[in-house]
Amino acid sequence: MGIQAEEIAAVLKQFGVDYDAFQIETFHSGHINSTHRVDIRYKGVSDAFVAQRINTYVFPDPVGIMENIDIVTGHIRDKLVEAGINPERRVLNFLKRPDGTNYYFESQESFWRVYRFVPNTVTYDKAEDPSILTSAGVAFGTFQRQLADLDMSLLKETMPGFHDTPRRWENLMKAARRDSEGRLAEVEKEIASIEKHRDLWARLISLHNDGTLPYRVTHNDTKYNNVLVDATTGEAVCVIDLDTVSPGLAAWDYGDAIRFSGNRSAEDEPDLSRVKLDLELYEAFASGFIPACRDGLTEAELDTLYLGGVTMAFELSMRFLEDYLRGDKYFRIHRPRHNLYRARSQLALALNMVERLDDCHAIDKKYY
């Protein structure tokens, strides 16, 4: 047995999985954690699990994360059972150890969880077909609705201030004042352009602060590759990759999905004329997401969802600019000025979204 197989064997034992033989296949589609499919045979019966080692560099509070996941998946499971739906495929099922925990670690570097493999599903790394976005919308919208009545005080805010856009702006201003790398002159135009739209990108969080928009459970990584899709029917099965689950605004989840999948060009596209919101893709996601969650959200939430995409694009542009000014400390770069290109591309997307706000709002209204 290789070192990895030995480690996984030890992990399976911790979760009480008995086997006569097992086989491991490593997934290469994820970018953060290390994920393995484990097929076991026990007394002539086959079963399959996913064993995943969490990246504790990216996620420094894995216990907090696993506690959130336990609450969230438990709540969804209860909802499904209440509705008479078999929860096996519709929510990730994490195994528990005899002490009740859904994780096992020997050291920070070796923090594991095991959950049931969901057979006959696929995940897409490219959305060639807009129907993939609709399925993703259904999955994230359903997730939103199932958790709409969860008591938020139960959840830990694992990434405090992550989408506090004015705080992101302040951080950018600090980096600009310091200008440690002498790069400020290069980005003054971009900074001025972002500042001009403060009223827009600060709106969601101020509507939360004044009590208009409540916190909900947000997934915070609403890319379509975090949705299992039925390989036969193309229907959404469930949402995966729950490490970033935290209290937040529904519009952030909606908006980040739009930011990521509503633009056909790459996140670092240097030809800014190609960067734009594609309303067909926007509607593909909206038509899945909004009907799935509208019963769980307030009128004010539904009526501000369309601000999510533009807010997320401005915010990410600020983060790339800040990192560029600080000397590329946070986002790994693959070429000189990479963060500058990323920032410009996200800003171009944000500015294009500003032009299309009314269209986006009108599309949303068709579905709530």
Ligand X SMILES: Nc1ncnc2c1ncn2[C@@H]1O[C@H](COP(=O)(O)OP(=O)(O)O)[C@@H](O)[C@H]1O
In the complex, the residues that contact ligand X under the rule CB under 6 A are 27, 29-33, 35, 50, 92, 115, 117-118, 121, 123, 225-226, 228, 240-241
φ/ψ of 264, rounded to 5, equals -75, -15
With respect to ligand X, which residue has the nearer C-beta, 113 or 356?
113
Alpha helices in 198-295 (DSSP H): 198-201, 203-209, 250-261, 279-293
Exposed/middle/buried for 65, CB within 10 Å: 0-12, 13-18, 19+? buried
Q: Which does 14 bind (CB under 5 to 8 A by kind): ligand X, Mg ion, none?
A: none
Cβ 238 to ligand X, closest distance in Å?
Answer: 8
Give whichever of 31 and 329 is closer to Mg ion, judged by the CB atom.
Answer: 31
What does 317 bind: Mg ion, ligand X, none (CB cut-off 5 to 8 Å by kind)? none
Query: In the bound complex, what is the minimum distance in angstroms from residue 188's beta carbon to ligand X?
Result: 36
121 binds, among Mg ion, ligand X, none (CB under 5 to 8 A by kind): ligand X
Q: Return the SS3 of 248.
A: strand
Q: How many CB atoms lie within 10 A of CB 23?
A: 12
- Of 2, 1, 56, 12, give the one whose Cα is nearest residue 34: 56
Nearest approach in angstroms of CB 94 to ligand X is: 10
Return the range that interacts with Mg ion (CB under 5 A); candidates 55-63, 220-228, 305-313, 343-351: 220-228
Residue 287 binding result from ligand X, Mg ion, none, given CB thresholds of 5 to 8 Å by partner type: none
Query: What is the closest distance, in whole angstroms, from the C-beta atom of residue 237 to Mg ion in the complex?
Result: 15
**214 Cα distance to chain centroid:** 19
Residue 68 vs 226, nearer CB to Mg ion: 226
Of the ranges 25-33, 79-87, 100-108, 204-212, which one interacts with Mg ion (CB under 5 A)? Answer: 25-33
The stretch among 2-10, 23-31, 202-210, 268-276 that binds Mg ion (CB under 5 A) is 23-31
User: What residue is closest to ligand X based on CB?
Assistant: 30
User: What is the rounded distance in angstroms from the CA atom of residue 95 to the CA atom of residue 17?
Assistant: 9
DSSP conformational letter for 210: T
Candidates 190, 241, 283, 301: give the one binding Mg ion (CB under 5 A). 241
The minimum distance between CB 224 and ligand X, in angstroms, equals 10
Q: Which residue has the tokens 């953060």?
A: 32
Minimum Å gap between C-beta 221 and ligand X is 8
The partner residues of 214 in beta bridges, in order of sequence, read none
Question: How many Cα neighbours within 13 Å face the side chain of 96?
Answer: 9
Residue 123 binds which of ligand X, Mg ion, none (CB < 5-8 A, kind-dependent): ligand X
Cβ proximity to ligand X, 240 vs 360, nearer residue: 240
**Nearer of residues 125 and 299 to ligand X, judged by Cβ:** 125
Q: Please state the closest distance from residue 237 (CB atom) to ligand X, in A.
A: 9
Minimum distance, C-beta of residue 34 to Mg ion, in the bound complex (Å)? 12
- As a whole number of angstroms, the distance between CA 339 and CA 133 comes to 27
Q: Tokens for 27?
A: 């997934």
Packing angle, helices 307-326 and 184-196, rounded to 10: 160
Q: Name which of Mg ion, ligand X, none residue 115 binds, using a CB cut-off of 5 to 8 Å depending on partner kind.
A: ligand X
The Cα 93–Cα 98 span in angstroms is 16
- Nearest-angstrom CA–CA distance, 343 and 251: 22
Does 226 bind Mg ion (CB under 5 A)? Our answer is yes
Single-letter code of the amino acid located at 191: I
CB of 244 to ligand X, least distance (A): 9
**Contact with Mg ion (CB under 5 A) among 4, 7, 30, 55:** 30
Residue number with CB closer to Mg ion (31 or 334) = 31
Residue number, 92 or 213, with CB nearest to ligand X? 92
Positive or negative, the CA dihedral 186, 191, 194, 197 is negative
Distance between CA atoms of 40 and 286, rounded to whole angstroms? Answer: 40
Nearest to 210 by CA among 314, 313, 300: 300
The contact set with Mg ion (CB under 5 A) reads 30, 226, 241
